[in-house]
Structure 1
Amino acid sequence: MNNKNQLFEKIKGKLIVSCQALPEEPLHSPYIMGRMAYAAMLGGACGIRANSVEDIREIKKTVSLPIIGIIKRVYDGSDVFITPTLEEIDLLYQEGVDIIALDATDRVRPDGKTINEVFPILRDKYKDQIFMADCSTFAEAKAAYELGFDCIGTTLSGYTENTRGTKLPDISLVERSVKELNVPIIAEGGIWTPEDLKAVFDRGVHTAVVGSAITRPMEITKKFIQAIS
Structure 2
Amino acid sequence: MTVLDRLRHRLVVSCQPLPEQPDDPMRDSAVQARVAAAAVLGGAAGIRANGPADIAAIRAAVEVPLIGLFKHGTAGCVITPTAAHAEQVVDAGADIVAVDATDRPRPDGRTFADTARAVHGRGALVLADVSSLDEGLAAVDAGADAVATTLSGYTAGPVPPGPDLDLVTRLAARLTVPVLAEGRYRTAAQVAGAFRAGAFAVVAGNAVTSPLWITRHLLDGVARAGMGPDTVDARGAG
Q: TM-score, normalised by structure 1?
A: 0.89
Q: Find 1:124's aligned residue among 117, 120, 130.
A: 117
Quote the residue 1:84 is aligned against.
Answer: 81
Is the Cα–Cα contact under 8 Å of residues 16 and 47 in structure 1 kept in the other structure? yes
Is the Cα–Cα contact under 8 Å of residues 140 and 177 in structure 2 kept in the other structure? yes
CA drift of 1:61 comes to: 2.2
* Stretches (4+) displaced over 2 A: 22-26, 119-129, 163-168
Is the Cα–Cα contact under 8 Å of residues 158 and 168 in structure 1 kept in the other structure? no
Unaligned runs of 5+ in 1: none
CA drift of 1:28 comes to: 0.3
Unaligned runs of 5+ in 2: 224-238
CA drift of 1:96 comes to: 3.1
Q: Secondary structure at the match of 2:147?
A: strand
Is the Cα–Cα contact under 8 Å of residues 152 and 183 in structure 1 kept in the other structure? yes
Q: Which amino acid in the other structure matches residue 124 of structure 1?
A: R
Equivalenced residues, count: 218
Aligned partners of 1:189, 1:74: CA distance in 2, in Å? 20
CA drift of 1:20 comes to: 0.9
Q: Which amino acid in the other structure matches residue 101 of structure 1?
A: A
Is the Cα–Cα contact under 8 Å of residues 135 and 154 in structure 1 kept in the other structure? yes
CA drift of 1:167 comes to: 5.0
Larger radius of gyration: 2
Aligned partners of 1:48, 1:151: CA distance in 2, in Å? 15
Q: Which amino acid in the other structure matches residue 17 of structure 1?
A: V
Q: Which amino acid in the other structure matches residue 197 of structure 2?
A: R
Q: Find 2:10's aligned residue among 14, 38, 43.
A: 14
CA drift of 1:97 comes to: 1.1
Aligned partners of 2:187, 2:178: CA distance in 1, in Å? 22
Q: Secondary structure at the match of 1:172?
A: helix
Q: Find 1:103's aligned residue among 94, 100, 103.
A: 100
Give the % identical residues: 37
Q: TM-score, normalised by structure 2?
A: 0.86
